[in-house]
Amino acid sequence: MAGEEEVKLLGFWVSPFVLRVEWALKIKGVKYEYIEEDIFNKSSLLLELNPLYKKVPVLVHHGKVIAESFVILEYIDETWKHNPLLPQDPHQRAMARFWAKFAEQQVFEGAWNALCSQGEAKQRALQGTMESMEKIEGQLQGNEQFLGGESIGYLDIILGWISYYLEVWEEVGSMKIMDPVKFPATASWMKRLLQHPVIKGGWPPREKMVVYFHHRSKALGSSPHGWLGFNWSSYREWIFFCPFYVPHLD
């Protein structure tokens, strides 16, 4: 397909936000050049391309720069029309965006807050995340394959991190969020997603993730500035990697 060789993606090995973009590009069959960034020692290229937030993912297409995973996904879907990610019906498309925002603000942020906190704060975060998972479970009930229908769609991509990252976070944080008995539809969806050709085998190394997130949660949990009260809608991808502590990983 014309122009595919001009697609570049700046990423970081453990970023679920970057994985979303990679999945979308693969679903569309778009070839791209992946450029690994050291987000604790940002390159001049990253600072040039994303001077506002200085973070990944960053997509470059024909010299045009797009940042933020939600924005990039919509750009990809509108640029390469085949294998659509978002529904064609306006109402269904709006609802996909609604649930994507809910999942990000309530499930992702809740689980991350639980990972990076202790005591009552951790319990509150866990309770809120579990309640939000119940809402996601309701959306998954009755779906034979994926939230996007018979094929993976926008909402599956946004929620896809749950299939792999959540178990790692549960191990690191000594907590339990995903109960297959309580959330059977979610558990079934996770299994299908993990076996999908685009998703299967493309995850970061688990043991390396455990070490990384152990250090991230410890650093954020002990930061004198704290991490609660941030405007997550603007900073979720920043705080996920902010360098309060830099683990050495080979």
Side by side, the strands of the sheet bearing 33-36 are 33-36, 7-11, 58-61, 64-67
Cβ neighbourhood burial of 121 (10 Å; 0-12, 13-18, 19+): middle
| In contact, 62 and 2? CB cutoff 8 Å | no
Q: Which residues contact 17 (CB under 8 A, 6 or more apart)?
A: 56, 57, 69, 237, 240
Low-confidence ranges of the chain (pLDDT < 50): 1-4, 224-235, 238, 242-250
Cα 88 from Cα 86, distance rounded (Å): 6
- Please provide residue 56's backbone torsions phi and psi, each rounded to the nearest 5 degrees: -105, 160
Nearest Cα residue to 158 out of 112, 108, 90: 108
- Using DSSP bridges, classify how beta strands 33-36 and 7-11 pair: parallel, antiparallel or unpaired: parallel
Closest by CA to 9, choosing from 36, 45, 41, is 36
Q: What is the pLDDT of residue 142?
A: 83
pLDDT of residue 77: 98
What is d(CA 250, CA 34) in angstroms, rounded to the nearest whole number?
19
Task: Report the pLDDT value the prediction gives residue 240, as an integer from 0 to 100.
Answer: 55
Residue with tokens 């014309």: 2
Instruction: Supply the pLDDT for residue 233.
Output: 44
